[in-house]
Amino acid sequence: MQQRRRRRNARTPLARVAVLAVIALLAGCAAIPGAGNVKVGLTDLEQAEQFYQFTPQSPTAQASQEDIVRGFVAAATSNADDYAVAREFLSTEYANQWDPYYGVLIDEGSRPYRAAGDTAGVLSLSATAKVDEAGQMLPVEPGPATDMRFEFTRIDGEWRIASAPSGIILDKSMFLAIWSSHQLYFVGTNEILVPVTRWFVAGAALATEIVGALVRGPSEHMRESLHSGFPAGAVLVTKAVPVLDGRARIDMSSEVLQASPQAIAELRQQLKLSLQSIPGVNGFDLLVEGTAMSELGGGIEPELVNEIAMPTGLIDGVFGAVSGGELTPMLGFADRVGELDPQAITLSIDGTQMAVLSEPGVTRLDAAGSALLDTRAKQIAPSIDVFGFLWTATRSGELQARGGDGVAIQVPAPWLDGRKVAAVRLAPDGARIAALVASEGGAQLLIAGVVRDDQGTPIRTTDEAATELWVTGDPLDFDWVGPTKFAVLSKGATATKVTSGGPGTFSTEQGSIPGGRQLTGGGAYAQLRVLGSEGDLYAPQNSGWQRGDYDIEVLAKRG
């Protein structure tokens, strides 16, 4: 694949759109396919979506301070006329200062209130997640309630809020009625597309929001790992993306004309995949200041990387694919793995090489033979990225990567300093690295970017990592479940449990498994497997787990 040698990013103000809730989505709306011809969908957007707008109440006469606070929070469900009703609960001076677009704090809905003196009050929230002004969601660390302080003043004998936290507060059910998640696609090394989950207000302005986010580029802490094909300085000429006869009309400024053929190929593919989740949109037209832009040749179309893999493991010293209660030996590896007495096994995505953790260290196996590469103490299960680099890590978070020559590359990861690491895994795209680490009272899953050179060689990780999941219990294992999801195995006082989630999404507990000790993602939820203490294999079934009697010694991961 052709390499990208320059990153292009552009920033524009976040569009302020009306808060609308979806009440109907017609089945069968066509979306932009990943390959093949564009299919004809609904030509009238109003046929695809209908929205209603919340109509909150204005302040009532002689309302108490608590009534004012609760009325203000309820009114923030609608930003009609720039949150006009919510601003009625604020003093005249503060109404012009309050910033509702700062983000969203999502809670469980229980909100005790207490007075804090004569002119202040505190609303206590059981916060679970927060969404920033760019639509990125992160979980809130479990613990004490989040206190939101409000200060009051009298205006014409009525209480009004003189100071309040920026942003708005929604419980989860209300948030999901008003907002919707969408996959945005940015570009990593070697023209690999990386999906990123963002949240936007559900409404007719979705196309504008999504295109604007692509133009602005990836989040700040991922800009050394990902880029957008849109060149620096490019903006939407009309500040909006109308949808006409099912096609999004994207009119860009003249900076787009300076983009290389490769960048044009990138941004077209980004738009194609990122817009496919919008009901009623089945294509797009790219213009430059009103003139249709011709498709330039010469660019390589970026691609997604993910492979659905059958579970593999070691049974009676033989390695192979596990299905239907039987093991099918894997050619080239079947009889070589058991000799190493493995503790953990990882196959490359293409199945051409394997990394095995055993008592001496990590050994790489391929068609050329085997080699013990890393003999450090206290290692955890290795990982092999899409570029063929073998990653090893110690429980203290010291990372190394090795290419085909076997030479160790020290990969700095400052965010792992001082951590107790249970597992480290590279995402299928190779642009992100995740670590499951112990924390006070449980565990957390951290995700950072991988910084590489043009050949894909790892240089370092990003300085910071985002906490994408908090779980209770001791951390045992985790794996990516495709490019947008992951699953975590943790041990409580009486059982092990699986928690599923993904970067920028809500987490879900998937139930407990007796003696769970290893987990593999397999590229899709249906391929998720957990190995129990007696060698039995568990597969997801409805809201629980189905047990299979396999007598597996070690369950392998892929990638």
Residue range 164-210, pLDDT digits in tens:
999 999 999 999 999 999 999 999 999 999 999 999 988 889 999 99
Predicted confidence (pLDDT) at residue 32 exceeds the cutoff of 70? no
Percentages helix, strand, coil for the chain (3-state, rounded to 5) are 15, 40, 45
- Contact call for residues 444 and 471 (beta carbons, < 8 A): yes
Do the Cβ atoms of 303 and 193 come closer than 8 Å?
Answer: yes
Q: Region of 66 please: left (phi>0), alpha (psi -120 to 50) or beta.
A: alpha
What's the average model confidence in pLDDT over 5-12?
A: 30
Residue entry with tokens 């407990």: 512
Q: What is the DSSP letter of 419?
A: -
Token reading at 557: 């991961």
Could you tell me which of 220, 215, 213 has the C-alpha nearest to residue 134? Answer: 213
- pLDDT in the model for residue 19: 31
Q: What's the token pair of residue 212?
A: 């604007």
Q: pLDDT band at residue 53, thresholds of 50, 70 and 90?
A: low
User: From CA 208, how far away is CA 354, in angstroms rounded?
Assistant: 45
Q: For 125-141, what is the mean pLDDT?
A: 96
How far apart, in whole angstroms, are the C-alpha atoms of residue 520 and residue 550?
A: 15
Q: What is the pLDDT of residue 550?
A: 83
| Confidence band, pLDDT 50/70/90 cuts, at residue 553 | very high
Mean pLDDT, all residues of the chain: 89
d(CA 80, CA 100): 12
| pTM for this model (two decimals) | 0.88
Q: How far, in Å, are 103, 219, 232, 355 from residue 11 at the CA level?
A: 18, 11, 8, 42
Say which residues have a Cβ less than 8 Å from residue 556's Cβ, sequence separation at least 6.
311, 312, 313, 314, 319, 345, 346, 347, 520
Q: Decide if pLDDT at 62 tops 90.
A: yes
Q: What is the pLDDT of residue 255?
A: 96
What structural domains does the chain harbor? 180-292 (3.30.300), 312-558 (2.120.10.30)
State the pLDDT at residue 549.
Answer: 77
pLDDT at 2: 33
Q: Rounded to an integer, what is the distance from CA 179 to the centroid of its chain? A: 16
User: What is the C-alpha to C-alpha distance for residues 285 and 280, in angstroms, rounded to an integer?
Assistant: 15
How confident is the model over 3-29, as a mean pLDDT? 30
Predicted pLDDT of residue 325: 80
Task: Give tens-digit pLDDT for 244-282.
Answer: 999 999 999 999 999 999 999 999 999 999 999 999 999
Per DSSP, 236 falls in state B
pLDDT tens-digit readout, 313-336: 999 999 999 988 889 999 999 999
How far apart are the C-alpha atoms of 480 and 126, rounded to whole Å? 28
Strands 113-115 and 120-125: antiparallel
* Distance of alpha carbon 352 from alpha carbon 198, whole angstroms: 35
**Cβ atoms < 10 Å from Cβ of 558:** 26
Asked whether the beta carbons of 314 and 327 are under 8 A apart, the reply is: no
